[in-house]
Amino acid sequence: MAIQDIYPTALRLLGRPVLVVGGGRVAARRAKGLLDAGARVTVVAPEATAALRELADAGLLTWEPRTYRSDDVDGVWFVQTATGDPAVDTAVASDAEAQRVWCVNASDHESSAAWTPAVAVVDDVKIAVNAGGDPRRAMALRDAVATALESGDLPLRRRRISKDSAHRGSVALVGGGPGDTGLITVRGRRLLGQADVVVADRLGPRELLNELAPDVRVIEVGKTPGHHPVPQADINRILVEEALQGHRVVRLKGGDPYVLGRGGEEAEFCRQHGVEVEVVSGVTSAISVPAAAGIPVTHRGLAKGFSVVTGHEELSEVPARADHTVVLLMGVGQLRESASALGRAGLPRDTPVGIVENGYLPDQRVTIGTLGTIADQAEAAGVANPAVIVIGDVVRVSPFAPSHFKTADYSTTSPNKPRTSTTRVLTP
């Protein structure tokens, strides 16, 4: 049998009798697959594996502990041979052929009337691969296609709405990370590929929007500091209205939806209006953007904890110590006030401060100074949001830090040497 002789199709075996001849591991796998399809399975074999016996004891299939007889194929819709004995498998296939019953002959794929493909299920898509009678090749291809579907590299979006799924819209709050397209989660990328409507922030992996199908609607609701053209109440309403029209809605956000992203409010509003909502965590910029500049928010010998704040008025509530990292989000406009507040709270003026603009993007820039100098440095350099500000001794670890910031006692390893980079670094 050549691959050109195959007519690919799918069998609906729900409630229909099928026969498996053989009791080994292959038979057990095939019987399990047939049960998953809803078939009424009978296994004929003198001996059976523990897995098959468990299925029989549970009443999920019928096991006839004997050798095969020609009348076993009477009245069945499908036959699978898996005895390991070519003579027996050929006899079963011959009897099935005489009764015009489709039979998979596990001993001889060339003469088999049907082939069993390598199968995977992603969402409601079933992938079946035949590869010229080479099962390992088929499995490798199946796994590759399944991975591409799960990661969103292949289009998984529905084009035809079934009667059962009509008007069952949903909302997914997807954290897209700090902006680099490689930092969105696999789950987030997959949901984005299934979306009918994307409600997008100004931050996050914007380049992924260019990969959406032409008929996917993108609703822009991005905010900038002090400028909210689409109020949060309107965003909540958009999510619910689109979902109630039967659409799969993705709320694509920068960072993580539940880290200063108002995702909790959006999820609560959806649930209040009977809309199914899923939250997909993202890589929060509070941790990832400092990491892009080689700054860990905690580090052995330097800091065991950290606080994330969004305004200088909150700084009175965080420990004013260089060994407790403070991460300021969207704090460029209030940097001078924040530095003064931390100074009044007792943080030394020579505490290292790092600012990372546009983390992970091609125009990323790092500015490093001290609590006493950083406001003037940022003003002179024209530092602007989006930026993450890190305050504390952990800034010393950054390869962008000047050599005099390095100390010998912050790690069990030797201090890092400053890295040569085209990134602009300002120092006091």
- Our answer to whether residue 32 is catalytic in this structure is no
- Our answer to whether residue 223 is catalytic in this structure is yes
Burial zone of 408 (CB within 10 Å; 0-12 exposed, 13-18 middle, 19+ buried) = exposed
Distance separating alpha carbons of residues 258 and 284, to the nearest angstrom: 9
CB atoms within 10 A of CB 388: 29
The residue whose two tokens read 């400053």 is 418
Q: Which helix (H) or strand (E) holds 242?
A: helix 232-244
Under a CB-based contact definition with an 8 Å cutoff, are residues 368 and 401 in contact?
Answer: yes
Fill in the DSSP letter of residue 414.
P
Could you tell me which residues come within 8 angstroms of residue 35 by beta carbon, excluding any fewer than 6 positions away?
A: 41, 55, 60, 61
Under a CB-based contact definition with an 8 Å cutoff, are residues 366 and 398 in contact?
Answer: yes
Overall residue count recorded for the chain in this entry: 428
The long-range contacts involving 308-315, CB below 8 angstroms and separated by at least 24 positions, are 308/259, 308/260, 310/260, 311/338, 312/337, 312/338, 312/340, 312/341, 313/341, 315/341, 315/342, 315/345
β-pairing verdict for 387-391 and 352-357: antiparallel
**And the tokens for 226?**
């002090």
CB atoms within 10 A of CB 353: 26
DSSP state string for 83-134: -S-HHHHHHHHHHHHHTT-EEEETT-TTT-SS-PPEEEEETTEEEEE--TT-
The residue whose two tokens read 């079946």 is 128
Nearest CA to 262 among 287, 238, 231? 231
The residue whose two tokens read 């040569």 is 420
Helix (H, G, I), strand (E, B) or coil at 318: coil
Query: What single letter denotes the amino acid at residue 136?
Result: R
**And the tokens for 219?**
């609703």
Q: Out of 223, 323, 376, 406, which one is annotated catalytic?
A: 223
In the Cβ-directed half-sphere of 87, how many Cα atoms lie within 13 Å?
Answer: 1
Q: Out of 72, 180, 201, 393, which one is annotated catalytic?
A: 201
Q: Which residues are catalytic?
A: 201, 223
